[in-house]
């Protein structure tokens, strides 16, 4: 509901050349057992971005779907973060987990390119394919 409420209450405050950027996640495209709610909400954010791009035009609306990103969020989420990252890296086509700078570069691209709207940019190193 958060992205819907943000769009509802703030869309009229954004200039015509402005943009809304939402975050989805890898779980929508590569679901795991026990994460059905996460998969559904991440997929919904992607669909919402496409629908809002049409509804709010010419204001642009996009989403980023990050994969596993090396942040402190994983410090307590998995028993051995380094080993888990190593396993992720060996299965990912790019051979590594993501860095926060990968996500920020994608966000900047979506925010400054005036000809991208209604898209979900996957910043997952190809993890959804492996």
What pTM was estimated for this model as a whole? 0.93
pLDDT tens figures, 48-74:
999 999 999 999 999 999 999 999 999
Q: Which residues are CB-contacts of 32 (< 8 A; sequence separation ≥ 6)?
A: 39
Q: What is the pLDDT of residue 130?
A: 86
CA distance 85 to 2: 30
Nearest-CA neighbor of 94 among 59, 49, 129?
129
Q: Give the chain's mean pLDDT.
A: 95
CA distance 120 to 126: 14
Q: 18-67+100-124 — its CATH code?
A: 3.40.50.720
DSSP 67: -
Domain residue spans of the chain? 18-67+100-124
pLDDT tens figures, 79-127:
999 999 999 999 999 999 999 999 999 999 999 999 999 999 999 999 9
| SS (HEC) of 86-116 | HHHHHHCCCCCCECHHHHHHHHHHHHHCCCC
pLDDT tops 90 at residue 16: no
CB 7 within 8 A of CB 20: yes
């Amino acid at each position: 509901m958060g992205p819907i409420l943000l769009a509802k209450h703030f869309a009229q405050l954004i200039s015509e050349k402005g943009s809304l950027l939402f975050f989805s996640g890898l779980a929508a495209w590569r679901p795991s057992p026990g994460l059905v709610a996460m998969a559904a909400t991440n997929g919904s954010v992607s669909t919402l971005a496409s629908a809002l791009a049409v509804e709010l035009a010419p204001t642009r609306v996009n989403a980023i779907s990050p994969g596993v990103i090396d942040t402190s969020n994983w410090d307590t989420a998995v028993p051995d973060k380094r080993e888990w990252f190593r396993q992720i890296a060996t299965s990912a086509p790019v051979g590594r987990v993501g860095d926060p700078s990968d996500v920020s570069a994608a966000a900047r691209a979506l925010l400054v390119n005036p000809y991208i709207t209604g898209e979900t940019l996957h910043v997952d190193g190809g993890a959804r394919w492996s």
